Structure 1
Amino acid sequence: MTKQVLAKSDTSSNQQSPLTTNAPVFRLRDMFKPSFDLWVISWILGLVTALSMIALLMISGWFITGAALAGMIAVGSHSFNYMLPAGIIRMLAMARTAGRYGELMVSHNAVFDLLKTLRLRFFNRLAALPLVQQRNTLHASQYMHRLVSDIDKLDEFILRVISPWLIGSVSMLLLAAFIGWALPLSSISKIVIYLLLLSALLLPFIASLKGIQSAKHLSQVAESRRQKLLAPLAIITQLLLWQQWQTQTKDYTEQDDKLQALEWKAQKHRSSYMLLIQWFCYAAVLVVLFSIYQLTNSSTALATDINVPLALAVTLGLLGIQEIIVPLGQHYLAMGNSISAKDRLNALLNPTANQPELNNIAATDIEKGLTLPTGPIHAELCNVSAKIPGALVGAKEVSVSIQSGMPLIIKGPSGCGKSTLLQALSGELPVQAGEITLNEQNWFAYDWQDQLGYLGQQLDIFDQTLAANLRLGKPDATEEELLSALDKVGLLPWLQAQPQGLQTALGEYGAAISGGQARRVALARLLLKPRKVLLLDEPFAGLDTETRERVWNSVREHQKQGLLIIVSHHEWDMGECEVLTLKENVFID
């Protein structure tokens, strides 16, 4: 994947190189730092909601039973105070509603703040990496989908692990304490009830630990399925015409079947855990009822202390607590999903462990600090070899001298490494062998910032206006400068025919204009300001002879004080130039 590089990252020389450390970039506990106060408020409101819900159920049962008993014992009397319980019930109903609304509002704000912080942190860290690592990172992650998806998955750690467990554990503890206070049960009965409640919490905890590997496996299979579908989708029209769609999607179908089997297995585990948690709660209810039954048929003093309304309240509390702790079993993969996402993100931003070839990059290739020379410049390539990781062909043992004001034209057959050589000069690929110097200093030791412009084979044209796309090359460019740059690439007549002028929308990837126009827009973006080096890969593709010569003269005049290196298949009288002809080479790893 090539791209048009408009600016090079400025990496401080005293900053530790990301290639020299394998320390984790991110830990799950770091998620609490951006909005810890909001999370605490959210947990408090969630706890208020949970306790209000359980208490509302318990007091309602106690109130109904108490009122019924009062009516049976003293018909027509006013011995039962129904005003206070009714008021408490109304208060708990309002607390439950307000707590739920407040928890949702605060937790949503905390989640949005968390996602914003995570995305900024990871993308800033990625942008600070050398271009070599950026390219390998994005390639290893199957472009940006993996990065964005993993960042979005991280919020499961708080929303489906920390918050539910915190609220569920505290609620269970308070309910157990209430049972011990409200019911005069024997020590054995209380121990059995506490063990059943503890089991209802331990089961989803153990399931979550076992689910870490399952979540990782599910994620790997899902990503593999996605990748096996993307390749045939890119040429779906041709495959349908050739009647090869079924054949070429066989691997995807197999991965899809495998994923469905894993998801069905996970769903069965999820249902089993939820059912077992409910059984533990029901068993606790049965123990409570059986213990009360035994006490009522005994002659002990404890039998006279049994409060029937409180007994019903405890029973309803054990039934109500299920709504809080059963989801712990439902989301048993949440911890595994978060850990997997965290590990993948750390691997993306510390790729040296998985990509040993990056260890061959010299430290000077990363810690850029030399100031670019102000006068004439010249570059030397001495036995330079470079290739895309895993490729069979590339540039091999290239030696050439380049002077400012003297363009270098790189020619050769397909597969000889012309584009690869430009990628190496731009910093997108590591140099496997040889040396590149600028005025006798290491090429990569300079602080290039935006003094190196690169036009790759694939263009970055965004779904914005023409002016906005151009100003990516110079944010403060005036309208006159934009018109001048467009004139250099022969687009001024086309622009004058557009009703919206510079506000013309180009569409995503330049879909609203032709391929040749998109390439010239990208080139005009580079010509908005002078740069020490311009690397242009097939800048004349799709242009007629007259336009090609006009663009060439404009580019050559613009870059007469700097280095100009062009890859081109076109043959015409380009004036005095250095020509480098590459031969096809095969690398044997």
Structure 2
Amino acid sequence: MRAAEAAGRWRGELGRGALAVSVGLAGQLSALGLLATSAWLLTRASLRPPILTLSVAIAAVRFFALARGLGRYGERLAGHDAALRVLARLRVWVYRHLEPLVPGGLGGVREGDVLARVVGDVDAVLDLLVGVLVPSVTGVVSATLAVALAGFVLPEAAPVVAGGLVLGGVLVSVGTLVAGRRVAGTLGAARAEVTARVVETLAGAPDLLAFGALDRVARSLSDTEARNAQALRGQALVRGGGFAGWALAAGGTLVGVIALGLGAVRSPGGGAGLSGVDFGVLVFTTLAAFDALAPLPDAMARAGADLGSAARLRALAGLEPPVHPPADPLPLPKGPLGVELDAVTVRYPGRRSPALQGVSLVLPPGRRLAVVGPSGAGKSTLALVLLRFVEPEAGRLVVGGIDAARLDPEAVRQQVAYAPQDPHVFQGSLAANLRLARPEASDEELVAVLVSLGLGPWFERLPTGLASELGERGVRVSGGERQRLGIARALLARRPLVVLDEPTAHLDHQTEEVVRTTVLEATRGASLVWITHQLAGLDAFDEVIALEDGRRSSDSQVQGLAGTLRASRH
């Protein structure tokens, strides 16, 4: 059903594209008719015939003038309508390919480079339809008809006009396309480098200012921009060369046609003779033929860059996601879900040592598990395994008694509420950021979860309460407030498995106790994975495991401490 609907939608876009070509062709043919009819009318009127003999040509000129304007307007209207619809689908396609690559599948593609591809390269595809495909089709058809008309007026002129069109419209265009493709690689890489450096510079501006490194980074950015400008000059040179080649071909062809026409006019009467009126029509028809193909060299030069952008998008879509959904996923069982890791090993691309090695654990429904260990021990990687963001190199993740490799990764994620170490705060209101977890949550529920996490005083100071804007990337909130907003989202989601990665790293001891107590109470009945490098408060958990260098540690000191704390609780 979905495939049929998608095919139907694409047929609609193809229909709109065909409409744009048809209307554009009507406009181009009207331009051809306008020039040819105008030439006949002007030369014929110079002989002062009866006005009635010119009335049809006068009406035709008016008709072609109106039809040309309407045709070109309709071409742009229909062409942009089709292109914008294709652009919307292309953006969705790009986002769908990007989503499974996050967070571990982008490889060496930088954040700014991804931004350049999503914005600039996707927009370039719009130009392929509006600025390349439609003008090329309409121009070639109109030029072919112009050659036929020139041959009807003077058969000897048809090969000259056709040869000039092939030289200026085809060979020059192919040359600009090839040259444009060569420039496109340099231009695309330079544009992506500039975007990546600008994004990194803006994101790291406070650190650059603090260490006095802003001038050095600015010089490096200036050098990168200079390379981008050089690539742009190369593209402009290709486009200018294409236009110059077309102009030379058009001028040379027109001179040849005029020479043939003058020779035919001077010849004595007969079948080979050419009247002055027909000579004018021939000259204007030649001009119309080249006018129809005038956009082609520039369009081919732009097409080189546009095709380069399309290739960069294909390369982005060709990146292998870290987790592949099965061809025929099994449904998740009903009811509470237990989770088990069976000798799981995870190795990131380009890393020699594994981030996790042979880690096993059992997490029955409702169990509270604390995972401790130093920085770099593999705790965050463990969270990514539970979220199906990374695929184990060895071992397996079992969810509800089923190997997770046989389940839809998105279905598994729908069972997990997650708060990372540094939650992202989106540009928008406080309410919008919290309702990412549960859109139907009421204002009372949002306020209640904030108060339970110790954010009540902060919330009361906000100028417009839940409608307060938090700024881009949460610039108006502190690190501790940002962290608790991420925990609030996880609690609002109400999912059977809650994974919190370093949830109290930016909090003082008193606030940490409030948050831990709130989380334990709010997740009663659900499974909880509390990832931390601190040992305080571990007596409240059913089990404590330690990770070190990617392995599950048998550190008796940590386990003994956890047992002592658990015993004191009872």
TM-score of the superposed pair, with normalisation by structure 2: 0.83
Q: Percent identity?
A: 25
CA RMSD of aligned residues (A): 3.5
Q: For the structure 1 residues 233 and 495, does the alpha-carbon distance in structure 2 shift closer, same or farther, using more than 3 Å as the test?
A: closer
Show the counterpart of 1:5: none
Q: Give the Cα separation in 2 of the matches to 1:135 and 1:292.
A: 64
Q: How do 1:83-482 residues align onto structure 2 when only pairs under 5 Å count?
A: 83-124=55-96, 126-127=98-99, 129=100, 142-183=113-154, 187=156, 189-207=157-175, 209-210=177-178, 211-239=180-208, 242=211, 244-245=213-214, 247-248=216-217, 255-299=224-268, 301-302=270-271, 305-352=273-320, 358=322, 368-372=329-333, 374-375=335-336, 378-391=338-351, 394-438=355-399, 440-446=401-407, 447-482=411-446
Q: Give the Cα separation in 2 of the matches to 1:248 and 1:30.
A: 51
Q: For the structure 1 residues 349 and 432, does the alpha-carbon distance in structure 2 shift closer, same or farther, using more than 3 Å as the test?
A: same
Q: For the structure 1 residues 61 and 490, does the alpha-carbon distance in structure 2 shift closer, same or farther, using more than 3 Å as the test?
A: same
Of 499, 517, 520, 1:553 maps to: 517
How many Å apart are 1:408 and its aligned residue?
2.3
How many Å apart are 1:470 and its aligned residue?
1.9
Select the structure with the greater relative contact order (CA < 8 A; seq sep ≥ 6): 1
State whether residues 424 and 430 of structure 1, in contact with CA within 8 Å, keep that contact through their aligned partners in structure 2. yes
Q: For the structure 1 residues 249 and 399, does the alpha-carbon distance in structure 2 shift closer, same or farther, using more than 3 Å as the test?
A: farther
Q: Give the Cα separation in 2 of the matches to 1:557 and 1:66.
A: 96
Partner-residue secondary structure (3-state), 2:192:
helix
How many Å apart are 1:548 and its aligned residue?
1.8
Q: How do 1:29-48 residues align onto structure 2 when only pairs under 5 Å count?
A: 33-48=11-26
Unaligned runs of 5+ in 2: 552-570
Partner-residue secondary structure (3-state), 2:524:
coil
Q: How do 1:524-535 residues align onto structure 2 when only pairs under 5 Å count?
A: 524-535=488-499
Show the counterpart of 1:8: none
What is the one-letter code of the residue matched to 1:172?
A: A
Q: Give the Cα separation in 1 of the matches to 2:298 and 2:324.
A: 50
Show the counterpart of 2:544: 579
How many Å apart are 1:565 and its aligned residue?
1.2
Partner-residue secondary structure (3-state), 2:62:
helix
What is the one-letter code of the residue matched to 2:64?
A: L
State whether residues 80 and 130 of structure 2, in contact with CA within 8 Å, keep that contact through their aligned partners in structure 1. no
State whether residues 32 and 39 of structure 1, in contact with CA within 8 Å, keep that contact through their aligned partners in structure 2. no
Q: For the structure 1 residues 37 and 384, does the alpha-carbon distance in structure 2 shift closer, same or farther, using more than 3 Å as the test?
A: closer
How many Å apart are 1:79 and its aligned residue?
6.2
Deviation per residue, 1:485-521 (Å, 9 max, x gap): 2233223443344453322222322223333222222
How many Å apart are 1:273 and its aligned residue?
1.8
How many Å apart are 1:82 and its aligned residue?
3.7
How many Å apart are 1:443 and its aligned residue?
4.4
Q: Give the Cα separation in 2 of the matches to 1:529 and 1:295.
A: 86
Q: For the structure 1 residues 266 and 471, does the alpha-carbon distance in structure 2 shift closer, same or farther, using more than 3 Å as the test?
A: closer
Q: Give the Cα separation in 1 of the matches to 2:241 and 2:308.
A: 24
Of 451, 455, 463, 1:491 maps to: 455
Q: Give the Cα separation in 2 of the matches to 1:521 and 1:267.
A: 50
Q: Give the Cα separation in 2 of the matches to 1:532 and 1:387.
A: 28
Show the counterpart of 2:30: 52
Q: Give the Cα separation in 2 of the matches to 1:434 and 1:467.
A: 41
How many Å apart are 1:559 and its aligned residue?
2.1
TM-score of the superposed pair, with normalisation by structure 1: 0.81
Deviation per residue, 1:149-197 (Å, 9 max, x gap): 33222222222322111111111111111111223x5x4x542332222
